[in-house]
Amino acid sequence: MLKRIWDRHRAAGLDEAAAAAAAPSPEELCYLAMLAFADERTADAAAFAARAAEASPGDPLFRAAAAHLARVGREGKRNVYVSAEGFAAFIRGGGNVPLYRETSAALAGQYPEAPFDLLDIGAGDGMALLPALTPAVRRVTVVEPAAPLLERCAAALSARGVGFEAFSGRFQDLAADPAMASRSWAVAQATFCLHAIAPAERPALLRWARARCDLLLIAEFDAPRMDEPSLTGSTSSSAQLARGG
């Protein structure tokens, strides 16, 4: 319904579009903000987000969205993945909170009990990785293309006394690095990052990872159900953990 409202009123401006939605809830205002942002109406998007934050001041997602869109209005767009504060706010709001909590628990539940080395592909700032760490994790190789996020993850691992090496780059860059050709890990994992890789590139990259680990764990959005020998555990209605043994 809100999409139809926006389509009818996108040329009419904020007031008419807002009035068309009868007593919009904070969630509806946030949705209108996203539609406005996608339509390059940054001022309208910021105004909708501000109203959502005012209507629900205790919600961190609405506050973060209002702050981010206000900054976009002042400074222009930035990639959320290279804006550490923007990415951190996004994954720590709304339904992402239980999603990441359950993902971390699912990862930890698959880790070996004996000491092992772990490869984390697309670690971000460690939102899924850090809570999943068990005493058995001996050393972590973290792969992340966004430098600010990699720095946060590395700092958190260092603070916990966990041995690690940080690879600043994409999964594709890791696989192409000659220094990694002979490397191996007991466990490799990728959480909510493979969808950013072109589908045609994924099979070769997954073969590369699978050849270098005993266990490959993938958490991804809209993953298909899989039969044995893979195991699936639902982390939300839109994400599953697939275990390749």
Which tokens go with 243? Answer: 């275990």
Q: What is the pLDDT of residue 239?
A: 45
Q: What is the pLDDT of residue 20?
A: 47
Which tokens go with 87? Answer: 């990415």
Q: 191, 103 in Cβ contact below 8 A?
A: yes
Q: What is the pLDDT of residue 19?
A: 46
Which tokens go with 31? Answer: 């949705």
- Report the candidate in 130, 242, 141, 136 with the shortest Cα–Cα distance to residue 185: 141
Of 156 and 42, the one with more pLDDT: 156
Global pTM exceeds 0.75 = no
Which tokens go with 213? Answer: 């680990």
| Range of weakest confidence among 6-10, 182-186, 197-201, 212-216 | 6-10
- The answer to whether the bond into 229 is cis (omega within 30° of 0) is yes
Rg (CA), the chain: 20
Of 52 and 10, the one with more pLDDT: 52
Of 206 and 231, the one with more pLDDT: 206
- Eight-state DSSP code of residue 224: P
Check pLDDT > 70 for residue 177: yes
Backbone phi, then psi, for 125, in 5-degree steps? -95, 10
Q: What is the pLDDT of residue 39?
A: 79
pLDDT in tens, 108-166: 999 999 999 999 999 999 999 999 999 999 999 999 988 888 999 999 999 999 999 99
Residue 96 confidence class, pLDDT cut points 50, 70, 90: confident
pLDDT in tens, 217-228: 999 876 666 554
Taking each helix axis as running N to C, give the angle between helix 26-38 and helix 60-75, from 0 to 180 degrees, rounded to the nearest 10: 30
Q: What is the pLDDT of residue 68?
A: 83
Residue 43: alpha-carbon gap to chain centroid? 26
Of 95 and 55, the one with more pLDDT: 55
Backbone phi, then psi, for 197, in 5-degree steps? -95, 140
Q: What is the pLDDT of residue 236?
A: 38
Q: What is the pLDDT of residue 238?
A: 39
